[in-house]
Structure 1
Amino acid sequence: METYTALRQFADSWALLAMTLFFIGVVIFAFRPGSRKQADNAARIPLEDE
């Protein structure tokens, strides 16, 4: 039961902080200047003829 308690405390503190920072990083990456053009180009790839 000691392992469960340690993992639970880790998940409640540092893991939550890490997931929050990762989410903030993804949002900043997605909304950075210039990303609209790259996203539009990537969205058109399946529709292009070879």
Structure 2
Amino acid sequence: MDYNLMRKFADSWGLLAMALFFIGCIAFALRPGSRRQADEAARIPLKDD
């Protein structure tokens, strides 16, 4: 593949894909009910003490 073709793809669709992935991660973290799961995951390292 040509470098310029890959660069144009990254400038257009690559940026869009990364932005959608970022928005999806934020939505996943802020979804209803995620606080309880995050609190449980935060306590995992302390269970064996």
TM-score band by shorter chain is over 0.9
Instruction: List alignment gaps of at least 5 residues for structure 2.
Output: none
Query: Under a length normalisation based on structure 2, what TM-score does the superposition of the two structures give?
Result: 0.93
Q: Which structure 1 residue ranges, 4+ long, deviate > 4 Å from structure 2? A: none
Is 2:34 the partner of 1:40?
no
Q: What is the alpha-carbon distance in structure 1 between the residues aligned to residue 11 and residue 30 of structure 2?
A: 29
Gaps of 5+ in 1: none
How far apart are the structure 1 equivalents of 2:48 and 2:28?
A: 29
2:44 is equivalent to residue 15 of structure 1: no
Report the alpha carbon displacement of residue 49 of structure 1 after superposing the two structures with TM: 1.7
Percent identity over the alignment?
A: 67
| Count of residues in correspondence between the two structures | 49
**What TM-score comes out, normalization by structure 1 length?**
0.91
